A and B are shown apart, each in its own frame.
Chain A
Amino acid sequence: MGRTSPPIRVALDQEAERIRKSLEVIQDPSIRAALMDILRSYDDIIPLLMLIPPQLPIDSILLAALAKLWARVLELERKVASKNNTA
């Protein structure tokens, strides 16, 4: 997207930075920490976004966060299954 709009990495960084700067308005520290965690997650899917660029940067941040959560759920399921098997 170099010619007409910023590269995807820059666009995402700008969006994440915009959100991060306003995080203080959230009172609950646990929600704030969770949001911060979400903002850290998009780096892993940048190569994918280079091939299939999103319309809005926030879509990609949410997709990345969802993928990370999904991976955690799968990991937990695997651990529960192995614990049940040993029990």
Chain B
Amino acid sequence: MKEKWLLRTIPHEDVAIAIWVDEEGRVSFEKRDVLYPLYLLSFKEEKTAALREDLENVEGIHEVSIEEWLSPPWYEGKVKLLKVTSKNLLFLQRLGKELENKGLAQPVNTQPGSLLLGLREHGLKACYWSSEKNNEITYHVPPLRVLQVVMRDRKLVFTLYALGSGEAVSGEADRYDYPVDYIDDSHVIIDYNNVIPTRLAGWRPVIRVNRNPVDNIYGLIELCRLSCMDLERVSRSSIGEILTTIEAFRAVEKKMLVPKARMGGDTWRDMDSLLFTDKGGLIGSPRPGLYLNVAQLDFSSLYPSIIATHNISPETLNKPECTNIHRPFGSPHVICLDKPGLVATVLRELVNRRESIKKLGDKTSSYREKAIKWILVASFGYLGYRNSRFGNIYAYETVTWVAREVLKRAITAAEESGYRVIHFIVDSLFISKNSEKIEKEELSRLIEKLSIITGFKIKIENMYKWLIIPRTNHVYMERGATNRYYGLTLDGKLIVKGSICGWSEALLSDPDKEEELISFLSSHNHPRKLCKDILSNATRLGLDIRYEE
């Protein structure tokens, strides 16, 4: 039997239509019977059995069973859930709403939800090959034909290309003159301006990257495989939603009930405790100016690594009955190590997966790795987000606490090794050694030392020939910008951070000249010559240079 790749599954009344693409790019449709599950939590636990009997007689329900699930917030105690299965997804959704309105039971595990749970249980995982069981690091993608549509000057500009081949066909049409032939010939449509009507797309997933920062097809496929959503849904979901779906699947596997809303909010706390714990990362106060031979060291995925290493998860923080407690770096909150935390487990897997994909080193893997990076970036913020199902403010505070302590240790260790710490931002350190060139071997020794001392991986982000930390527009204080710098790396790359935003605070007086200034800066290797040239070209570059006594 030929291998097939699942593009998507569309539920329709009592069947699900699976759309497959084979190795040659041929599309096939298959009708499948899928039993979708709906999990219900009775408002009165003693009435669960009676409700089950009532539901067994309802037409359209395939089976009703009672299961025991772990209940939030600590996932220690058990609760009885009714599992109702049906072939009709719409019917299940209506049933859930009706029971809730009647005050009998509320649907739970609504994320990942009946659709994704049902499809996954029946092996219909989007972006997987039919024979694939696990999400391996290396996989191939069929020659999907992707139609990219963008609006430019009131015209539709479209490009049709097949993944894995360099061939592409492009064209242009009027606003409502849709490229129907191209649409018919494609498997996936990337619609940048929401111009293609759904009726024309038919069964094809239409990717609309409005909420998702990942807009590359390989990145989206990676997210599909992680979350079991199809391309269309994943492209329209926020990164937080994708992360929660991944976590929810893991929770369901462990029979941990996924609540409808966040469990356990912030409790009353005194001002001292808030001042002491409720803070962000550590940020330095650099002196503005020009620095020579600077190395920028960066902790790799620091926040997700902290979560993964220290078992930080909502159900492990400040747990009342715990035998094995852990207080990382003297944190004010206590972590329970009795069981692996849900969020910590998921993030550990994602961090490891990203590392493995990075090692593959090809172009598609870089898109995949970046897609996972987005999840990792959002993961920490989502811990503190009030609507996050797997969030907890104490978990959030513990992460920032550990991050501050880690950076503090790194600063001390770097200074003890004879380096001057010019600046530090949350998970980055800028160091120099009397403006002399730092040898790579020497830096590698330092990195090894810092990794051992802090317990987290650190890498060289950039080696600058020169680095400029500009002044802020503070009225009376000579203050360096904390998140803005320009620098030329040893391999000739100009790194500009934070200059485009907030230009009013920057060195420039004219924002239109910024690009010209950046190219001017990158053409210089030596700061002395650069300073002289800046002064003589100040007017042309639109610079406002203030002289001080």
Within 438-462 of B, Cβ neighbours of A (below 8 Å) are at: none
Collect the chain A residues with CB atoms within 8 Å of residue B274's CB: 1, 4-5
Within 2-55 of B, Cβ neighbours of A (below 8 Å) are at: none
Q: Give Cα A1 to B282, complex, Å.
A: 12
Chain A residue total in the interface (Cβ 8 A): 20
Given A20-B476, A36-B476: A2 in contact with B282 (beta carbons within 8 A): no
Query: Chain B, interface size: which category?
Result: 20 to 34
The reply to whether the CB of A51 lies closer than 8 angstroms to some CB of chain B is yes
The interface-forming segment of A24-32, A38-46, A70-78, A79-87 is A38-46
Within 269-315 of B, Cβ neighbours of A (below 8 Å) are at: 271-272, 274-276, 278-280, 282-285
Collect the chain A residues with CB atoms within 8 Å of residue B474's CB: 13
The reply to whether the CB of A55 lies closer than 8 angstroms to some CB of chain B is yes
Given A36-B476, A50-B404, A51-B408: A43 in contact with B285 (beta carbons within 8 A): yes
A residues with CB within 8 A of B: 1-5, 7, 9, 13, 20, 36, 39-40, 43-44, 46-47, 50-51, 53, 55
Given A3-B384, A40-B476: A47 in contact with B278 (beta carbons within 8 A): no
Q: Give Cα A47 to B408, complex, Å.
A: 10
Q: Which of A4, A13, A50 contacts B283 (CB 8 A)?
A: A50
User: Per DSSP, are chain A's interface residues mostly helix, strand or loop, or mixed?
Assistant: helix
The reply to whether the CB of B479 lies closer than 8 angstroms to some CB of chain A is yes
Q: Give Cα A5 to B285, complex, Å.
A: 20
Collect the chain A residues with CB atoms within 8 Å of residue B275's CB: 1, 5, 53, 55
User: Per DSSP, are chain B's interface residues mostly helix, strand or loop, or mixed?
Assistant: loop
Please give me the 6 A-B residue pairs with the lowest Cβ-Cβ distance, nearest first: A53-B275, A46-B285, A43-B285, A40-B477, A3-B278, A47-B284
Once the chains bind, are B384 and A47 in contact (CB under 8 Å)?
no
Q: Give Cα A55 to B276, complex, Å.
A: 10
List 30 contacting pairs A-B, 8 Å CB cutoff, sorted by A: A1-B274, A1-B275, A1-B278, A1-B279, A2-B278, A4-B278, A5-B274, A5-B275, A7-B279, A7-B280, A13-B474, A20-B475, A20-B476, A36-B476, A40-B477, A43-B285, A43-B477, A43-B479, A44-B285, A46-B284, A47-B283, A47-B284, A47-B285, A50-B279, A50-B283, A51-B282, A51-B404, A55-B271, A55-B272, A55-B275
Q: Give Cα A36 to B478, complex, Å.
A: 13
The chain A residue with its CB closest to the CB of B281 is A50
Q: Give Cα A3 to B384, complex, Å.
A: 10
Collect the chain B residues with CB atoms within 8 Å of residue A1's CB: 274-275, 278-279
Collect the chain B residues with CB atoms within 8 Å of residue A9's CB: 482
Given A20-B476, A40-B477, A43-B477: A53 in contact with B276 (beta carbons within 8 A): yes
Which of B279, B474, B475: most chain A Cβ within 10 A? B279
Collect the chain B residues with CB atoms within 8 Å of residue A43's CB: 285, 477, 479
